[in-house]
Amino acid sequence: MRKLSNGGVAKDELDLLFLRVVRQDVKRYLGLKDKNLKQSLTELLRSKPETLLKKLNSIPNDPRKRGIMLQVVYVEISSELFKIISNLCDKYNLDFIDLVSEYSTSKLTGLTDKTKKRKVSKSKIKKLPKELQIYVSILSKLNQYEEKTEQFYRTKKQDSFLIPELYYEEIRKNLLFLLNPSNGRWAIVDDISFLNPEKWVRRAYSPDVVQGDLLILPKEILSDEEREFFRALVANGVIYQNRRIKIESPDLTIQPSLLSIVVTTYCNFRCKYCYEEDFKPMRPDLENMERTISRLFSKYPTIKTVSFFGGEPLLEFEAIRRLTFNPFIYGLPKSIQTNGSLINEEIARYFKLHKFGVGISLDGPDDYNKLRILPTGENTYEKILEGIDKLKYVGVMFGLLSTYTKDSEGLEKEYISWISELNPSSFGVNVGVHRKYLPSWRSTLKFFQTTFEAYVNSDIWTKIRYNTFLYHIDVLLLPPKDRSLMLFRNPCGAGRSHITVNPDGSLSPCPELFMFKSYDLNFFDKFKPVYTRVVESMCPACPFRYICTGGCPGKSIVYHGRINKPLEELCKFRKRFFVWLASKLYEDKKYLEVYKHWKKNLKVNQITLEP
């Protein structure tokens, strides 16, 4: 990863570079071969002032160059020029101050003449003593073009491309991922020489192309091809036109649409990577839960969906029955996340009758499911498949949720074919964050690259939805607030668009943040660390901060014991994976085709991927 801070050239370095460029041009246009510019100009002024004036008039009539070159000449000869004029004023009994004020601007001379600037006519100069005319003409010439130069920059900056500090990573030769870290917008380009400020200092003939962290490029100095290229980058949000566009402030309005109900924290499995051992074992207190649910719906009528969680929620199937018929919940879409081992035909038919969305936790084929065991240490794979068979038998569609861990290495080779055999309606993959089982970033990267490739190049993508595939492309094509997966939003949504009722009737922001609990409905108004933790305090210097948004805060607490520290292995993975995925969207149109297939209601066709 390379960081571009205006090409890595500091402003004072640009000033020196620019001065060298101008001095070289002065020598070239005035035909001066001596290395010492000041000495050469002074000798020319003393011995051949007419020749000097003629050479000054030969400088190209371009305010970007002529004015600045004349300023450099002025700096080099001003002391000698004023000395000569002063001596001649004494000789002809003229007032030096009045003369200089009349034929020069206060900016160059340092004088405080407040009279209105006026153009100096040749006829007026001819009224001076002949010996003095040539020197006053030189002084007037230097001042006249300084004013034109200022006017040029004052007007042309109004119509410019603004290039902020950008980051890039080389995908391969002549293909680079370019990222604006201040908003997460990106593009694939084949060349980044346009980010070199030295190029534009020479082109614009001004060090002012760099202002703060911006390159400012007036359109007048660009070719038609360059303008078209920059317009494409503006359309992608990578650079700006005329003014910097600030990213929208996060919406902190509490308007929950999803209610999660943790029915119990007990579980009939003892998955080795599960962190829910940190839960206090609780069975449902239905009276308290329903009281809280009633208060929630009264305060937040925006709740539109209900999801049941555990532990293992089917350990309390009778509680689920009762809550299903709660007047606030009954008519809403419902879902459940379960390990599937307790599903029998009765439960399967109940799910079908009440139109439950069913998610089954299963990590892969039997050899990759060894961490999901019973308290006795027995394998759970066959029990889960029996539950899945019951769902299939009664016609209940189900999704699969797998957890990728350190013990899953090698799964990528057969994961998609295994999914095809089970034939769920959808599937997704989480990364396990238990300290002992957290996979390396390289292993995680290999798994998702391999499964994404296998998915788009198989025939299952038309009938089985790979949620993780869609979620990650969301990140590259949609602003944080519109992304499907909570952990990729900013803020994530816990306690804002998603709230949780615990078995004792208490409230939490979401099941992942079970360590934060309260019975006070105003609890969510006070729960600000999650809302502001990512960009403001957690990842302010990371160029990918508006892409990955720091990850799940609950997992940060589980792994680090603190909410504002991301998981380093996941950071390394995401930085590399999103660059890879962006390149696939650019090069392999199948990726966008698959994404559009499952996102038919989104105007994805209006999103540009590259200039």
Task: Decide if 340 contacts 382 (C-beta within 8 A).
Answer: no
Least confident piece of the model among 76-90, 195-209, 343-357, 406-420: 195-209
pLDDT in the model for residue 362: 97
pLDDT in the model for residue 591: 97
Task: Decide if 544 contacts 480 (C-beta within 8 A).
Answer: no
Write out the H or E segment, with its range, that includes residue 601: none
Radius of gyration of the chain (CA): 35
pLDDT average, residue stretch 290-299: 96
Q: Can you give the residue ranges of every domain in the chain?
A: 31-156, 160-241, 258-520
pLDDT at residue 422 greater than cutoff 90: yes
Task: Identify which of 363, 445, 444 has the alpha carbon closest to the alpha carbon of residue 406.
Answer: 444
* 73-87, 301-315, 537-551, range with greatest mean pLDDT: 301-315
Task: Decide if 472 contacts 549 (C-beta within 8 A).
Answer: no
Query: What are residue 336's DSSP bridge partners?
Result: 308, 358
CB atoms within 10 A of CB 319: 20
Mean pLDDT score across all residues of the chain: 86
CB atoms within 10 A of CB 212: 10
pLDDT at residue 45 greater than cutoff 60: yes
Residues 93-123: pLDDT tens digits? 988 888 888 776 544 444 444 444 445 456 6
Write out the H or E segment, with its range, that includes residue 211: strand 210-211
pLDDT at residue 565 greater than cutoff 90: no
DSSP class of residue 485?
S
> CA 433 to CA 275: how far, in whole Å?
9
579-602 burial, b at 16+ Cβ within 10 Å, e below that, comes to bbbbbbbbeeeebbebbeebbeeb
pLDDT average, residue stretch 272-299: 87
pLDDT in the model for residue 32: 87
Q: What is the DSSP string of 351-399?
A: HHHTTEEEEEE--SSGGG-TT-B-TTS-B-HHHHHHHHHHHHHHT--EE
With vertex at residue 463, the alpha carbon angle to CA 460 and CA 466, rounded to the nearest 5 degrees, is: 70
Task: Decide if 310 contacts 262 (C-beta within 8 A).
Answer: yes
Candidates 3.30.300.30, 3.20.20.70, 3.40.50.10300, 3.40.50.1370; CATH matching 258-520? 3.20.20.70
Q: What percent of the chain has pLDDT over 90?
A: 55
- Return the structure tokens found at 118: 């006026």
pLDDT at residue 459 greater than cutoff 90: yes
pLDDT band at 522 (very low <50, low <70, confident <90, very high): confident
Task: Identify which of 244, 230, 19, 64 has the alpha carbon closest to the alpha carbon of residue 154.
Answer: 64
pLDDT band at 8 (very low <50, low <70, confident <90, very high): very low
pLDDT in the model for residue 531: 57
> CA 438 to CA 340: how far, in whole Å?
24
Task: Decide if 471 contacts 451 (C-beta within 8 A).
Answer: no
Task: Decide if 432 contacts 273 (C-beta within 8 A).
Answer: yes
> CA 446 to CA 491: how far, in whole Å?
28
pLDDT average, residue stretch 467-488: 88
With vertex at residue 423, the alpha carbon angle to CA 418 and CA 428, rounded to the nearest 5 degrees, is: 70
Task: Decide if 399 contacts 357 (C-beta within 8 A).
Answer: yes
pLDDT in the model for residue 213: 77
CB atoms within 10 A of CB 6: 24
pLDDT in the model for residue 114: 41
Residues 425-446: pLDDT tens digits? 999 999 998 889 999 999 999 9
pLDDT at residue 181 greater than cutoff 70: yes
pLDDT in the model for residue 105: 56
pLDDT average, residue stretch 68-87: 90
pLDDT band at 535 (very low <50, low <70, confident <90, very high): low
pLDDT average, residue stretch 508-520: 90
CB atoms within 10 A of CB 12: 9
In the chain, the N- to C-terminal Cα span, in Å, equals 21
> CA 117 to CA 103: how far, in whole Å?
10
